[in-house]
């Protein structure tokens, strides 16, 4: 059974958004608004 967690993030202007989005894509996360995404684990 898969579970998910809600991830809320604010990396500021110089944050590693490319790395974060790559990590989220690897986990099939779906964006649910500004800076919020459920991550399946």
Q: What is the value of pTM for the model shown?
A: 0.63
Q: What pLDDT does residue 41 have?
A: 66
- The per-type count for the chain, helices as H runs and strands as E runs, is 1, 2
- Element holding 7 (H helix, E strand): strand 4-8
Q: What pLDDT does residue 22 have?
A: 92
Query: In which domain, by residue range, is 16 found?
Result: 4-40
Q: What is the mean pLDDT of each run of 10 residues along the chain (41 residues)?
A: 79 86 84 76 66
Q: How many distinct structural domains can be found in the chain?
A: 1
Q: What pLDDT does residue 30 have?
A: 77
């Amino acid at each position: 059974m898969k579970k998910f967690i809600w991830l809320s993030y604010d990396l500021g202007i110089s944050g590693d958004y490319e790395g974060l989005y790559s990590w989220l894509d690897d986990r099939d996360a779906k964006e649910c608004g500004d800076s919020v995404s459920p991550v399946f684990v």
